[in-house]
């Protein structure tokens, strides 16, 4: 009977294309066992640090940032479910959760979240005021957390709020070129000079424009 249940659970995981979360921790929750499925998601029995148990789906743990049975989030900060809270939860997930699709680009590269920010209230105290200022200027959907040094960790000293355009210019996948006394991305060079992006690409390929090996942080470290 137990073997049959295990086979059924394996089918659930394969069907929903998710990895087994048993044994993993999400904030104040520890996933104890897979108990079935709900709303086309794997359903887990989780134990909270307060001693309570709660049944949660993989989506609630991975996508919605649920990190307690409810006793902690609502009692202490009341921000569960807000976009700011989800940013914090997703930040931790991609650095600490090996089952996260983005883990290889973050935790897999050695990027982590500072110990202070493992606690949501500390992250809130350090970043919420500047978050609101950025939202007021650029809008909530155009406000995301950005590491100044793309190879550095998530901490107050290395993080800021950025627009999508700013984030796209701060990625290790960018190709950088020299413009006068600066190092800029090809996209930035295109905007500054008025050349079409494909023209800039052609200039780099032909050697007419010098590219910079590595990333912006190798060539020009930011404080």
Please indicate whether residue 62 or residue 144 has the higher confidence score (pLDDT): 144
Average pLDDT, the chain: 79
Q: Averaged over 137-159, what is the pLDDT?
A: 90
End-to-end, the C-alpha distance of the chain in Å comes to 60
Question: In the chain, which residue ranges form alpha helices assigned H by DSSP?
Answer: 2-16, 58-62, 71-72, 83-96, 120-138, 164-168, 186-193, 197-206, 216-219
Residue 102 pLDDT greater than 60, yes or no: yes
Report which of 109, 110, 124, 108 is spatially closest to residue 156, judged by C-alpha positions: 124
Instruction: List CB contacts of 157: < 8 A, sequence separation 6 or more.
Output: none
Question: Are the C-beta atoms of 80 and 123 separated by less than 8 Å?
Answer: no
Structure tokens at 85: 């809270």
Which pLDDT band holds residue 143 (cuts at 50, 70, 90)? very high
Under 8 Å between Cβ of 175 and 197:
no
Q: Assess contact for 209 and 192: CB atoms under 8 A.
A: no
Read off the pLDDT band of 18 (50, 70, 90): low
According to DSSP, residue 101 is labeled T
Is the pLDDT at 117 greater than 80, yes or no? yes
Of the listed ranges 7-16, 161-170, 206-215, the one predicted with least confidence: 7-16
* Contact in structure between 142 and 163 (CB atoms under 8 Å): yes
Q: What is the mean pLDDT of residues 158-183?
A: 76
Q: Does the global pTM surpass 0.85?
A: no
Residue 28, token pair as written in the block = 């104040």
Rounded to an integer, what distance in angstroms lies between the CA atom of residue 21 and that of residue 11?
A: 15
Confidence class for position 15, pLDDT limits 50, 70, 90: low
């Amino acid at each position: 009977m137990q073997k049959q249940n295990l086979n059924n659970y394996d089918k659930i995981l394969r069907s929903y294309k998710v990895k087994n979360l048993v044994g993993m921790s999400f904030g104040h929750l520890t996933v104890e066992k897979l108990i079935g499925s709900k709303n086309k998601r794997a359903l887990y029995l989780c134990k909270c640090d307060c001693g309570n148990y709660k049944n949660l789906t993989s989506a609630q743990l991975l996508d919605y940032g649920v990190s307690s049975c409810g006793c902690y989030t609502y009692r202490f900060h009341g921000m569960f479910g807000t976009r700011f809270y989800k940013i914090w939860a997703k930040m931790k997930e991609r650095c600490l959760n090996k089952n996260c699709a983005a883990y290889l680009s973050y935790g897999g590269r050695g990027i982590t979240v500072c110990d202070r920010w493992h606690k949501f209230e500390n992250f809130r105290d350090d970043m919420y005021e500047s978050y609101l200022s950025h939202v007021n200027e650029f809008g909530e959907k155009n406000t995301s957390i950005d590491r100044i040094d793309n190879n550095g960790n998530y901490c107050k000293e290395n993080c800021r709020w950025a627009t999508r355009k700013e984030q796209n210019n701060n990625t290790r996948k960018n190709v950088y070129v020299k413009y006068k006394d600066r190092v800029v991305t090809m996209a930035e060079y295109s905007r500054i000079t008025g050349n079409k992006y494909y023209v800039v690409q052609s200039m780099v390929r032909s050697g007419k424009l010098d590219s910079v090996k590595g990333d912006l942080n190798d060539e020009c470290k930011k404080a």
